[in-house]
Protein backbone atom coordinates (compact mmCIF):
# COMPACT_ATOMS: atom_id res chain seq x y z
CA UNK A 1 0.00 0.00 0.00
CA UNK A 2 1.26 3.46 -0.88
CA UNK A 3 0.26 6.42 1.31
CA UNK A 4 0.75 9.84 -0.24
CA UNK A 5 -0.32 13.47 -0.29
CA UNK A 6 -3.42 14.00 -2.45
CA UNK A 7 -3.31 15.98 -5.67
CA UNK A 8 -6.10 17.82 -7.46
CA UNK A 9 -6.46 14.85 -9.82
CA UNK A 10 -7.45 12.70 -6.80
CA UNK A 11 -10.53 14.77 -5.97
CA UNK A 12 -12.84 12.89 -8.31
CA UNK A 13 -11.93 9.49 -6.85
CA UNK A 14 -12.09 10.85 -3.29
CA UNK A 15 -15.61 12.12 -4.01
CA UNK A 16 -16.56 8.69 -5.41
CA UNK A 17 -15.24 6.90 -2.31
CA UNK A 18 -17.12 9.31 -0.05
CA UNK A 19 -20.31 8.72 -2.05
CA UNK A 20 -19.91 4.93 -1.79
CA UNK A 21 -19.23 5.06 1.95
CA UNK A 22 -22.90 5.50 2.89
CA UNK A 23 -21.67 6.86 6.23
CA UNK A 24 -20.13 10.21 5.35
CA UNK A 25 -21.89 13.45 4.61
CA UNK A 26 -21.14 13.85 0.92
CA UNK A 27 -19.64 17.24 0.22
CA UNK A 28 -19.75 18.91 -3.19
CA UNK A 29 -17.19 17.83 -5.76
CA UNK A 30 -15.85 21.38 -5.58
CA UNK A 31 -15.16 20.91 -1.86
CA UNK A 32 -12.97 17.87 -2.54
CA UNK A 33 -11.10 19.77 -5.25
CA UNK A 34 -10.38 22.59 -2.81
CA UNK A 35 -9.40 20.09 -0.11
CA UNK A 36 -6.82 18.53 -2.46
CA UNK A 37 -5.47 21.98 -3.23
CA UNK A 38 -5.58 23.83 0.09
CA UNK A 39 -5.35 21.09 2.73
CA UNK A 40 -3.21 18.53 0.94
CA UNK A 41 -0.42 18.59 3.54
CA UNK A 42 -2.88 17.55 6.26
CA UNK A 43 -4.67 14.96 4.14
CA UNK A 44 -3.66 11.59 2.70
CA UNK A 45 -4.71 9.01 0.13
CA UNK A 46 -4.04 5.27 0.06
CA UNK A 47 -3.27 3.42 -3.15
CA UNK A 48 -3.29 -0.32 -3.76
CA UNK A 49 -2.13 -1.59 -7.13
CA UNK A 50 -2.18 1.99 -8.48
CA UNK A 51 -5.80 2.61 -7.48
CA UNK A 52 -6.86 5.11 -4.82
CA UNK A 53 -8.79 3.09 -2.24
CA UNK A 54 -9.05 5.47 0.70
CA UNK A 55 -8.53 8.98 1.98
CA UNK A 56 -8.36 11.12 5.08
CA UNK A 57 -9.06 14.84 4.92
CA UNK A 58 -7.93 16.98 7.79
CA UNK A 59 -6.62 20.35 8.85
CA UNK A 60 -4.64 21.89 11.68
CA UNK A 61 -6.96 23.82 13.96
CA UNK A 62 -6.03 27.54 13.82
CA UNK A 63 -6.62 27.96 17.55
CA UNK A 64 -4.75 24.73 18.40
CA UNK A 65 -2.11 24.08 15.72
CA UNK A 66 -0.83 20.93 17.46
CA UNK A 67 -4.26 19.35 16.90
CA UNK A 68 -5.16 17.71 13.61
CA UNK A 69 -8.89 17.80 13.01
CA UNK A 70 -9.89 14.82 10.86
CA UNK A 71 -12.79 15.88 8.68
CA UNK A 72 -13.43 12.63 6.84
CA UNK A 73 -11.99 9.12 6.64
CA UNK A 74 -13.22 6.71 4.01
CA UNK A 75 -12.07 3.44 2.51
CA UNK A 76 -13.65 2.01 -0.61
CA UNK A 77 -16.04 -0.75 0.51
CA UNK A 78 -14.12 -3.30 -1.58
CA UNK A 79 -10.97 -2.65 0.50
CA UNK A 80 -12.34 -2.42 4.05
CA UNK A 81 -11.09 -4.69 6.80
CA UNK A 82 -7.45 -4.43 5.68
CA UNK A 83 -6.31 -1.72 8.09
CA UNK A 84 -6.25 0.99 5.41
CA UNK A 85 -8.01 3.63 7.55
CA UNK A 86 -5.81 3.02 10.56
CA UNK A 87 -2.65 3.11 8.42
CA UNK A 88 -3.67 6.44 6.87
CA UNK A 89 -4.40 7.98 10.29
CA UNK A 90 -1.10 6.81 11.71
CA UNK A 91 0.87 8.10 8.74
CA UNK A 92 -0.91 11.45 8.86
CA UNK A 93 -0.30 11.83 12.60
CA UNK A 94 3.42 11.28 12.02
CA UNK A 95 3.61 13.53 8.95
CA UNK A 96 1.85 16.43 10.69
CA UNK A 97 3.76 15.92 13.97
CA UNK A 98 0.69 16.70 16.08
CA UNK A 99 0.03 15.94 19.73
CA UNK A 100 -3.67 15.23 19.32
CA UNK A 101 -6.18 14.17 16.69
CA UNK A 102 -9.75 15.39 16.91
CA UNK A 103 -12.77 14.22 14.96
CA UNK A 104 -16.52 14.22 15.26
CA UNK A 105 -18.54 11.03 15.03
CA UNK A 106 -22.26 10.37 15.21
CA UNK A 107 -23.27 8.06 18.04
CA UNK A 108 -24.34 5.28 15.66
CA UNK A 109 -21.11 5.12 13.60
CA UNK A 110 -19.60 2.05 15.25
CA UNK A 111 -16.95 1.61 12.52
CA UNK A 112 -15.42 5.05 13.04
CA UNK A 113 -15.59 4.75 16.82
CA UNK A 114 -13.76 1.40 16.61
CA UNK A 115 -11.10 2.76 14.23
CA UNK A 116 -10.25 5.81 16.37
CA UNK A 117 -10.31 3.66 19.52
CA UNK A 118 -7.85 1.28 17.85
CA UNK A 119 -5.62 4.22 16.91
CA UNK A 120 -5.50 5.33 20.55
CA UNK A 121 -4.82 1.78 21.75
CA UNK A 122 -2.10 1.16 19.14
CA UNK A 123 -0.37 4.42 20.03
CA UNK A 124 -0.71 3.83 23.79
CA UNK A 125 -2.66 7.01 24.39
CA UNK A 126 -6.11 8.00 25.56
CA UNK A 127 -9.33 8.72 23.74
CA UNK A 128 -11.97 11.06 25.10
CA UNK A 129 -15.34 12.12 23.86
CA UNK A 130 -17.85 14.82 24.64
CA UNK A 131 -20.93 16.29 22.98
CA UNK A 132 -20.14 18.97 20.41
CA UNK A 133 -23.06 19.52 18.04
CA UNK A 134 -26.66 18.61 18.83
CA UNK A 135 -29.34 17.96 16.20
CA UNK A 136 -30.85 21.42 16.76
CA UNK A 137 -27.48 22.98 15.78
CA UNK A 138 -27.95 21.70 12.23
CA UNK A 139 -30.46 23.13 9.73
CA UNK A 140 -31.12 19.75 8.07
CA UNK A 141 -32.02 17.15 10.70
CA UNK A 142 -28.43 15.92 11.05
CA UNK A 143 -27.66 13.59 13.95
CA UNK A 144 -25.68 14.77 16.97
CA UNK A 145 -21.89 14.75 16.57
CA UNK A 146 -19.58 13.95 19.46
CA UNK A 147 -16.03 15.29 19.58
CA UNK A 148 -13.41 12.57 20.00
CA UNK A 149 -9.92 13.59 21.10
CA UNK A 150 -7.10 11.09 20.71
CA UNK A 151 -3.79 11.82 22.38
CA UNK A 152 -1.51 13.14 23.51
CA UNK A 153 0.98 11.64 21.08
CA UNK A 154 4.67 12.22 21.67
CA UNK A 155 6.04 14.77 19.23
CA UNK A 156 8.45 13.31 16.70
CA UNK A 157 11.99 13.96 17.87
CA UNK A 158 10.89 14.57 21.47
CA UNK A 159 13.12 13.06 24.12
How many whole angstroms separate alpha carbon 121 and alpha carbon 33? 33
In a domain, 93, yes or no: yes
Give the pTM: 0.92
CATH code (residue 42): 3.40.630.30
The answer to whether the CB of 4 falls within 8 A of the CB of 45 is yes
pLDDT given for residue 159 in this prediction: 44
In a domain, 156, yes or no: no
Give the residues of the chain that fall short of pLDDT 70: 155-159
| Residue 37 lies in domain | 2-150
Q: How far is residue 14 from each of residues 77, 83, 116, measured CA to CA in Å?
A: 13, 18, 20
In a domain, 77, yes or no: yes
Domains contained in the chain, number:
1
pLDDT given for residue 155 in this prediction: 64
In a domain, 112, yes or no: yes
Average pLDDT over the chain, rounded to an integer: 94
In a domain, 86, yes or no: yes
In a domain, 141, yes or no: yes
How many whole angstroms separate alpha carbon 127 and alpha carbon 112? 13
Per-residue pLDDT tens digits for 30-40: 999 999 999 99
pLDDT given for residue 23 in this prediction: 83
pLDDT given for residue 157 in this prediction: 52
pLDDT given for residue 158 in this prediction: 47
In a domain, 105, yes or no: yes
In a domain, 157, yes or no: no
Amino acid sequence: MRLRTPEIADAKRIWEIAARSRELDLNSSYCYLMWCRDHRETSIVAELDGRTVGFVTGYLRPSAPSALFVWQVAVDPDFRGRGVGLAMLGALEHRCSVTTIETTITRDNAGSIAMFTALARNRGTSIGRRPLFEPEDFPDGHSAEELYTIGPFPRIGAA
